[in-house]
A and B are shown apart, each in its own frame.
Chain A
Amino acid sequence: MIAEIGHFVLVMAFGVALVQAFVPLWALYRGQSYGRFLAKRAAQLQVVLLAVSFAALTYGFLRSDFSLVIVYANSHEAKPWIYKFAGVWGNHEGSMLLWTLILAAYGAFFAQRSLALPDRFATMVLVVQGWLGSAFLAFLLFTSNPFARLLPAPFAGRGLTPILQDPALAAHPPLLYAGYVGFSMSFAFAIAVLTTDQPSRDWAKWMRPWILAAWIFLTLGIALGSFWAYYELGWGGFWFWDPVENASLMPWLSGTALLHSALVAERRDTLKRWTLLLAILTFSLSLAGTFLVRSGVLTSVHAFANDPERGVFILAILALFTGGALALYGRYLPRLSEDRSFAPVSREGLLLANNIFLAAATMTVFIGTIYPLVLDALNLGKISVGAPYFNTVFGPLTLPFIILLPLGPLLTWQAGKLIAPINGLLIAALASLLVVLGLWITQAGVPLIALLLIGGAIWLTLGALADLAQRLRPYGWQILRQPWRLPATAFSAPLAHAGLAIMIIGVIGASMWQSETVVAAKAGETMEVAGRQLRFDGVREVEGPNYQAEQGQISYLSGPHKGKVLLPERRFYQAERGQTTEAAITSDISGHLYAVIGEAVAEKRVLRLWFHPLVALIWIGALLMALGGSFALRARMSKSGQGAA
């Protein structure tokens, strides 16, 4: 019964989305004023209906109602409730319902916060949201109904893939979707700018908080997914250049470019055309990511849907929205006011360079991901493009990017003089060169590009500090007396840029200096890993809520962790007939000791022990980036008290 209500309100939400998509448009066309009111009410109603539908599905999962196909296929009675709950989006249908719910939430939030925006503009944004809502609800209802019944109901479900039963992975999809879907707002803004003839450049100001919000969510979502892979997949890899990871990286890269170009458009009334194009393309990449993941075109852990019909449907949505938006872009572009000119050496100039590099990075990921598919489809051979390719290309692409980056914030707008940043960064340049030289002498065998990237990251960190110092200079002694009264914006870009630098140091450190020990050990045997004395104490059986596990125990015999134990597990999930490796990790300032137990070999037990130096910096860096973004967002939200989001 509850499921039927969920299905029914889903159909209603589709109807409301259709109204939101077309009726206000008609009102706009006829010059009648009810359009905005109607669009707002429709957006609000839609989120309520979808929330009810989502709640109904959640109820089905929590109660283990196996008469629902997707509950049967993805859940099990014996699962802890948190994973029953997370199971709602641990499958294709439920995750698409979450997608539409988040889309509707953005729309309703915009309807609420956009009171100060001009009528036509705000209405058009909601109309575009209505188009997207209609398309995805149609997709959900016609190809992926989450409320499909299975009668007679089976007694037990098939359970959720064990590696997905993890707290980080419960939160990963909602964050990622909040990022993907968030870019629908900048997309809708771009369409509204193009079609409603915005005379002023204010649209960039209105758009920026939405870009920021989406970008923060996407940053957190990707970082969480990477952290999960690191501790769950059993050997400490943090990024695999898997097609599905790439699908999330592309909108992140182009979203980062958009974030910066919208800043130029807002402050300097230039790069407007490019900003609009990026807004369209960033959301298209989000849709393409959804297509790649949901269609099963790519074999991957993430692709739980292998249904060509769904793939074709999403491909049609992608083609319709990207093609339609680009057509509008071509048609209405001349209406935009002229871009203001600027000198190459200026903050705009450096932000332009930022965008060119980020565009190249986005395209590299795109080409690398689809190249094998295209080549195969054209019968030109079967090749693989994996991590070694991307690592080879991304090093040389990142290096000039981070070398140029610190110059931008230290230059003035429009026309700057290089002398200012050069004076400010002289020490930074010397320090990073010395570090590179020192590493080059001491670390034989490490590729030069890795050392240069470390130098670049140090240069970038010091550059971020110089930027911060410049921003705080006007406040004088207040910095020490009342630091809490300093404006949050002063910290936003420096934090985000330092976060990038710290992440790069983590990536290089963990990739270049990791060490690995694989041994077959008897209980009581001692071993040494990266200078740490350890003893293997043995294995015991442990009982989990819905699994049985072998738990190994490894003790530290020396050093600051002396007396501590590592408890890596191998878990066997009866219901799902699957197994996972739970690594045990101890963390200190230099890195992570990462232990995994393997299979038994006669009396011995295979132990795999890694030392991952500096690896935590990867996620600390990502958190700093997101924090920098949220400082910028907070400042923006309190400043625009008139309600422009």
Chain B
Amino acid sequence: MMGLKKLTALVLMSLSLTVTAHAIAPGEALSDPQLEARARALSAELRCLVCQNQSIDDSDAELARDLRHLVRDRLQAGETDDEIRTAVVARYGEFVLFRPQFGGHTFLLWMTPLIILFLGGFWAYRLLRNPPSKPIE
């Protein structure tokens, strides 16, 4: 099942060569500026599955527009950002999130900066604490 979903996504991606981006159409924006701001922030995190590396906020593809409507409808219904993310992931898979959730399979993704800083700090500490006093043979 996952395989089929993956395949469709790949096929759709290769079909689309749209490069110019158009973002939202007139009348799409919500009248409440705070809700609209949340809608924009959420949309920027959701991948347009039929585009090349574009968020639904940047794309004028039909699927992106549908998702923008979905996000705004749910926001107006009073759902939280997390609830909406969960709902979209349930329908399209984790691939739709441009910022993957933290978890076992994304541990290294999120931790790499910290790991490098830690290792670098450790290296610097060693270097500064025990400066080599003799040439290494």
CB-contact partner of A356 in B13, B25, B29, B120, under 8 A: B120
Contact A349:B52 (CB < 8 A) given known A371-B109, A384-B100 = no
The answer to whether the Cβ of B97 comes within 8 Å of any Cβ in the partner chain is: yes
Decide: B20 and A360 in contact? CB cutoff 8 A: no
Number of A residues, CB within 8 Å of B: 60
Q: Taking the complex as formed, is A445 at the interface, i.e. its CB lies under 8 A from any CB of chain B?
A: yes
7 tightest A-B contacts by CB?
A: A341-B131, A386-B98, A356-B120, A388-B99, A360-B116, A520-B26, A367-B112
Binds B, one of A211-219, A375-383, A417-425, A500-508: A375-383
**Interface SS of A by simple majority:** mixed
Q: Taking the complex as formed, is A542 at the interface, i.e. its CB lies under 8 A from any CB of chain B?
A: no
User: Residue among A338, A340, A386 with the most chain B CB within 10 A?
Assistant: A386
B109 to chain A, nearest CB (A): 5
A384 with B117: CB separation less than 8 A = no
Q: Which residues of A contact B13 (CB under 8 A)?
A: 299
25 chain-A/chain-B pairs, Cβ below 8 angstroms:
A243-B53, A300-B53, A352-B127, A353-B124, A356-B117, A356-B121, A360-B112, A363-B113, A364-B112, A364-B113, A368-B109, A383-B97, A384-B97, A385-B98, A386-B47, A388-B45, A388-B99, A392-B99, A393-B113, A397-B113, A518-B25, A519-B26, A520-B26, A579-B20, A601-B26
Beyond A361-B113, A385-B99, 12 additional contacts (C-beta under 8 Å) are A233-B19, A299-B52, A371-B109, A382-B94, A383-B97, A383-B105, A386-B45, A386-B47, A387-B44, A518-B23, A580-B20, A606-B25
Q: How far is the CB of B39 from chain A (nearest CB, A)?
A: 12
Would you list which residues of chain B between 84 and 137 have a CB under 8 Å from chain A?
93-100, 105-106, 108-110, 112-113, 116-117, 120-121, 123-124, 127-128, 131-132, 134-137
User: A516 near B23 (CB under 8 angstroms)?
Assistant: yes
Interface residues of B (CB under 8 A from A): 6, 9, 13-14, 19-29, 37, 44-45, 47, 52-53, 55, 58, 93-100, 105-106, 108-110, 112-113, 116-117, 120-121, 123-124, 127-128, 131-132, 134-137
Stretch at the interface among A21-29, A77-85, A234-242: A234-242
Let me know if B100 and A383 touch, CB within 8 A.
yes
Q: Given the known A-B contacts A356-B117, A386-B47, are A381 and B94 also in contact in the complex, defined by CB atoms under 8 Å?
A: yes
Could you tell me if B113 and A235 are in contact, using CB atoms closer than 8 angstroms? no
What residues on B are CB-neighbors of A242 within 8 Å? 53
CB distance from B107 to the nearest CB of A (A): 11
Contact, CB under 8 Å: B112 / A385 = no
